[in-house]
């Protein structure tokens, strides 16, 4: 087989493997290692990751009688890849035991591998590891330039794919950060109005279908302007964060507290009647009173709207407007909160409503 036809076969096979995205990276890499073993007529194929003095086997293809697996870790200085990385390029050795330079290398004494071909892998200019193939048997022919070309083609795809996967993870992390920014309040680290709305829409839609019940409450820090004026905005921010933490600490996994705006919080208690809301609200008021930021205890006023769908008319033509239900419940709770403020603050006013 000519060098040209050999290279064409490598390129064609590599193209087939790298375009099989549906198989996933692990399977693609396994096929690539198998292709290398066939191409070089060797027994062991490895993608390694090197960090400091540690040589980690990330992926490997080996015969059944070779006890090597992904996750195995070795001393980098005692590996053939140490030679490859120092050379900063491809290395090929047909018969290690007969090589004056490498016969005394610790890797040869430790593993007894006679033939080896490998290349360093780099990500963003930094050493990542190596792609290498080896065998305990001497290589019966000389590695040729076309073999190095094939190795470099395989290494190039791996480097590009590793960078792509790294960028994909970074993008996922960035998207999650953007989601947090979009749906959460940065000061209190609880949902903002946008995040709150998503939860309420989902939960109230569920309650409407099962004829369930729930309670929505608005919690407002009393005399918050005076607190800011007396202690400064930094203390005011600390108070907001502490109040959010106190409210959130005693809730069930499926309850919700969100920052509604300014010094006001929204509390959502699905599957909870008015009596349950009163119990939770009293505990919250007591716990907030224990916050040690100001000379006088911090107090809150709470207005709530408890509602259920049991009395909803069973007309098939009736469709519920979930957003209107949310707005109505908030309005009712807000009126109750206004009454709590008007009656002297530091108190709870509860109401009931049916949809």
250: Cα within 13 Å, side-chain hemisphere:
15
What is residue 253's three-state secondary structure?
A: coil
Q: Mark out the alpha helices in 224-354 (DSSP H runs).
A: 224-231, 233-249, 274-288, 322-342
Helix (H) or strand (E) holding 209: helix 193-210
Instruction: Tell me the C-alpha distance between 193 and 197, whole Å.
Output: 6
Mark whether 352 is an active-site residue: no
Q: How far, CA to CA in Å, does 242 sit from each of 235, 236, 245, 292, 329?
A: 10, 10, 5, 10, 26
184: Cα within 13 Å, side-chain hemisphere:
13
- What letters, b where the CB count within 10 A reaches 16 and e where it falls short, cover 191-216? bbeebbbebbeebbeebbeeebbbbb
Contact status, residue 353 vs residue 331, Cβ threshold 8 Å: no
Instruction: Tell me the C-alpha distance between 20 and 18, whole Å.
Output: 6
DSSP per-residue codes, 127-182: EEEEEEEEESSPPSS---HHHHHHHHHHHHHHHHHHHHHHHHHHHHHHHHHHHHHH
3-state SS record for 174-207: HHHHHHHHHHECCCCCCECHHHHHHHHHHHHHHH
Instruction: Show the tokens assigned to 24.
Output: 């996933």
Sheet holding 115-123, edge to edge: 73-75, 54-61, 44-51, 126-135, 115-123, 91-93
Strand partners, 111: none
Catalytic residue among 263, 264, 274, 352: 263
- Give the active site residues: 263
């Amino acid at each position: 087989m000519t060098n040209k036809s050999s290279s064409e076969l490598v390129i064609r096979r590599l193209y087939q493997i790298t375009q099989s995205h549906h198989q996933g990276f692990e399977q693609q890499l396994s096929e690539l290692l198998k292709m290398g073993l066939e191409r070089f007529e060797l027994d062991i194929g490895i993608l390694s990751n090197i960090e400091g003095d540690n040589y980690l086997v990330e992926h490997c293809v080996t015969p059944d009688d070779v006890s090597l697996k992904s996750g195995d870790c070795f001393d980098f200085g005692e590996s053939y890849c140490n030679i490859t990385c120092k050379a900063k390029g491809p290395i090929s050795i047909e018969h290690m035991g007969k090589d004056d330079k490498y016969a005394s290398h610790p890797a040869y004494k430790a593993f007894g591998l006679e033939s080896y071909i490998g290349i360093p892998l780099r990500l963003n200019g930094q050493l990542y590891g190596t792609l290498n193939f080896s065998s305990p048997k001497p290589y019966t022919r000389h590695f040729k330039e076309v073999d190095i070309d094939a190795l470099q083609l395989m290494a190039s795809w791996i480097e590009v794919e590793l960078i792509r996967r790294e960028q994909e993870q970074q993008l996922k992390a960035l998207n999650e950060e953007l989601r947090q920014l979009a749906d959460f309040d940065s000061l209190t680290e609880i949902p903002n109005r946008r995040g709150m709305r998503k939860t309420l829409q989902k939960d109230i839609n569920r309650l409407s279908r099962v004829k369930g019940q729930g309670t929505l409450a608005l919690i407002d820090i009393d005399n918050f302007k005076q607190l800011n004026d007396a202690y400064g905005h930094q203390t005011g921010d600390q108070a907001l964060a502490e109040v959010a933490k106190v409210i959130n600490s005693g809730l069930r996994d499926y309850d919700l507290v969100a920052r509604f705006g300014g010094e006001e919080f929204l509390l959502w208690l699905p599957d909870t009647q008015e009596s349950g809301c009163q119990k939770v609200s009293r505990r919250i008021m007591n716990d907030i009173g224990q916050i040690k930021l100001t000379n006088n205890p911090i107090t809150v006023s709470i207005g709530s709207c408890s509602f259920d769908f049991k009395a909803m008319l069973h007309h098939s033509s009736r469709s519920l407007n979930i957003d209107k239900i949310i707005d109505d419940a908030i309005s009712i709770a807000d009126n109750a909160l206004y009454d709590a403020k008007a009656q002297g603050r530091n108190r709870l006013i509860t109401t009931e409503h049916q949809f």
